[in-house]
Amino acid sequence: MSMRSYVTVCAIISLAACAAQPRQTDQPAPMSAAEAAAAAQPRELLPDEQVQQVLNRLTFGARPGDAERVRAMGVDKWIDQQLHPERIADAATDSLMSHYSVFAMKTPDIIHDYNVVQKLQRQVKADVKDTTENKAQARREILANNPQLAQMARQAQQMVGQVQSAKLARAVVTDRQLDEVMTDFWENHFSVYAGKGQVRLFLTDYDENVIRPHAFGKFRDLLGAVAKSPAMLFFLDNWESAADSAHPTLIPRAVRPGQVPPALRRRLLNAPPEQRAKIMAQVKAQADRGLNENYARELMELHTLGVDGGYTQKDVQEVARALTGWTFNRQTGEFVFNPRIHDSGEKTILGQKFPAGHGEDEGERVLDILATAPATAHFITTKLARHFVSDDPPKALVDRCANTFESTQGDIRQTLRCIITSPEFFSRVAYRSKVKTPFEVVASGLRALDAQPDTTPRTAQLVARLGEPIFGHQTPEGWPDRGDAWMNTGAILNRINFGLSMAAGQIPGARIANVPQLASLRPLPREQQVDSIVKLVLGGQVAPQTREVLLTGENPMLAKASDTTAMASAGDTSNAGGSMGMNAGGRGGRQQGAAERTPGKGFPRGRGAQIPGYGREIDLQGLPQVVGLALGAPEFQRR
């Protein structure tokens, strides 16, 4: 039997097995003619390679035993199960999330506690006129005498760290892996920056109530949830966007620009002199507030149509006008529409007339138009195909699945199904073609060693050290999803060192002893250890160069990267840093030179130093050295 015939028979058997299963109430939508034709094509990857492909692309890396489970269930049935996370019990994740107090809090309570702590800070700043040290001492004394306030202060301080830790720990633990991958994808697509102002207060709501529930639903519902989320409204400044003085508002303004409102006028009469300046500054800020185009621009360029989506600067301005008044309650975080600042004048958006006199419904109509635009179908499908198939996804795949997006009214699950069951997904050219991001490197390394989740911020800090701080991209385009953005000299060195550190037991929860199959290899000869680790950790297939590194313990890339980085630190930056600079893999690259190294040694430094033991010189021998080098191998750095 030819290989082509063999693959075809395997596909038929797999389809027959699926057909024999009990009928599910939530069946996939009927395939289009193009999808059916594509599905009929044989898959280029062999059955075991198909198992590796789905584990590499649809999860954050295989845990020990995952390949056997997928093989026993069948690739297609496993994909269908992952596309319906609600059918997968996930008690381990439920138990994990109970360790994070911030996720048990309601957004109004988070805001309240934050405001109380901020008031304390202002009080100390006003009352204590001496040095920073004296102010810190005064703050400590206040907290020591007020345990409840101290708890609020700790919660505020730990808020972002908890969110970052939970995101990584969840990726490591959950059995709903594709759901977690999609949540990560959308949180990067609709990126917000935790370091901007009060965005941090809304991160748990953003993850739990905005992105996660809509990860497989209709794109329009997801888009609307994001548009009304306090995290996005604050990050892209739409919460304070208001009609300018040249346009009418839905409800006439209570005061003219620059006029002191009656409530503030009464406060001015009773305020001491030092407070009057602050009140007048508040009045000026209100008067200066006008149209803000930030969200409108990113809504079209990054969230829907794409940069080549056919809109103009005039469309940006008109969309911004339509979204004036979309804001939120500063005390509760709930979305509110404020008619007093909404521009109710006539508008023209993407060639469509918006008559005067409308309110919140204008914004909803804008979202309807954008969500259903053919350009949006193509843009979103391209990003999904880039993430799951290849950096430059085939045009035929994008066109076919964009048609699915349109014909199903933006059904994310059906569009994703079109992509991840396609022959392009299971093609030879797509196999191991994607470079892992730092988040994926850390999560997959932890999963490979069957690590227990770290519920402290420590391990999440390693993701930042590798160049991708969680919720840490300052600009709204999110982290890049192309390999060339992450692969440079500093990144390679840091990734190799991370693998060695993990094998050395320096990463919380990660131990070789966690995996009985690995621990049992200790007494075996080196060659047998290598063969077993290639199968257990690297999917059974490695290049001859990788096998040689594992056998000898000598990694020429480590020495080369070390030499280059040493030159870069001395002033020669011709081969270091990469195109992304500080935004990608080039962070923390200063290392000792190759002359100071011995095989299997690494010197990780930087943000991971908060982890006890991480940052010490690594001197691995035997099985730990083989495991560490495998985790730093090119085959493990790809998915």
Give the pLDDT of residue 93: 96
Region of poorest pLDDT, from 12-16, 109-113, 196-200, 365-369: 12-16
Taking only the tens place, the pLDDT of each residue in 376-388 is 999 999 999 999 9
Q: Which of these, 205, 249, 261, 225, lies nearest to 338 by C-alpha position? A: 249
Residue length, the chain?
639
Q: How far is CA 188 from CA 226, 238, 304, 321, 530, in A?
A: 12, 19, 14, 26, 37
Q: Is 567 a residue whose pLDDT tops 50?
A: no
Taking only the tens place, the pLDDT of each residue in 34-77 is 777 777 788 999 999 999 999 999 999 999 999 999 999 999 99
Q: Which of these, 430, 413, 436, 361, lies nearest to 369 by C-alpha position? A: 361
Q: What is the pTM of this model?
A: 0.84
Give the pLDDT of residue 609: 43
Give the pLDDT of residue 119: 83
Region of poorest pLDDT, from 282-286, 417-421, 492-496: 282-286
Taking only the tens place, the pLDDT of each residue in 183-227 is 999 999 999 999 999 999 999 999 999 999 999 999 999 999 999
Q: SS3 for 566-586, per residue? A: HHHHCCCCCCCCCCCHHHCCC
> What DSSP character marks residue 104?
G
Taking only the tens place, the pLDDT of each residue in 169-187 is 999 999 999 999 999 999 9
Look-up of token digits 């056919």: 310
Half-sphere exposure of 34 (CA within 13 A, CB side): 12
**Cβ-defined contacts of 519-525 (< 8 Å, 24+):** 521/623, 522/622, 522/623
- Under 8 Å between Cβ of 525 and 627: no
Residues ≥6 apart with Cβ < 8 Å to 199: 192, 193, 231, 234, 235
Q: Which residues pair with 81 in a beta bridge?
A: none
